[in-house]
Amino acid sequence: MIVFDVRHYDQVGSTNDEALRLAREGAGHGTAVHADEQTDGRGRLSRRWLSPPGNLYLSIILRLDLPPGRGVEIGFVAALAVADAIDAMLPRQVHATLKWPNDVLVNDGKISGILLEQTDDVLILGIGVNVLHPPSGLSYKVSTIVGSGGLATVDGTLSRLLTALASWLDVWEHNGFDPVRTAWLARAHPPGTLLRLTIGERMTEGRFVGLAPDGALIVETEDGPTRFVAGDVGVG
Ligand code: BTN
């Protein structure tokens, strides 16, 4: 099992950048950067990730020696770990769900985002979780653990997340992507759900079919079953 070496910072630009800097200095597999606040947090597709104190900002150095293309699997591993960690803090009737590629939602609001960055032989797994503060000014619905009726602190969320992540990484290392893919599908919207895919300026609609063995999204569009490897997904 992976062992995490957590380095705590009061404030950084981006925990992903700090993790990459440590990796270049030789920091090992499992080194984790946790910051109370980010001044330059990044999201997918070059977006900003607003990062005031009160939410979780974490980046982990993974040295997995993976063949090209398999890094994306870690995003699904991480999303499952985040969903498990959050579920354990929510009221019993509220559950985290998943949306492609790596979003974790509660009550249809995004509660966590995952940013994977691969450089040379290192994969930086960046995870943001809204514990207390819903980021404002976004075009999509957001939620927080506490606002969803959960009992949580940032440190408690960090600890549960690291435990769940170690356990899902173990499943993936021993059994490959297949059980991860199956577990991800069980927590995602059901097949047939109407999805809107935005890639740059282009929007495509279709019905959710499933997840390909390599993590690509399969949608039944007017052109038939279509694979997507990038983009934003809206549900319904
Ligand atoms: C997304 O757009 O959904 C991904 C957001 C990822 C945010 C996290 S917060 C910790 C890490 N550091 C960053 O700058 N980004 C990621």
Which residue stretches of the chain are H helix?
15-24, 72-87, 154-175, 178-187
Residue 91 has pLDDT above 80, yes or no: yes
Give 225 Cα–ligand 1 centroid separation in angstroms: 31
Strand partners, 128: 57, 113
Q: Where are the beta strands (DSSP E) in the chain?
A: 5-12, 31-38, 56-62, 96-99, 103-106, 109-119, 122-129, 194-199, 202-211, 217-221, 224-228, 232-235
- Split at pLDDT 50, 70, 90, the class of 28 is very high
| 22 C-alpha to ligand 1 centroid (Å) | 18
Residue 135 CB–ligand 1 contact under 6 Å:
no
Q: What is the pTM of this model?
A: 0.96
**pLDDT tens sequence across 30-41:** 999 999 999 999
Nearest residue CA, atom 16 of ligand 1?
Answer: 126
Task: Report the pLDDT value the prediction gives residue 67, as an integer from 0 to 100.
Answer: 86
Residue minimizing CA distance to atom 15 of ligand 1 = 42
CA of 173 to the centre of ligand 1 (A): 24
Residue 200 banded pLDDT, cuts 50, 70, 90: confident
- Quick one: pLDDT at residue 149? 97
Using the predicted structure, report yes or no on whether residue 236 has a pLDDT greater than 80: no
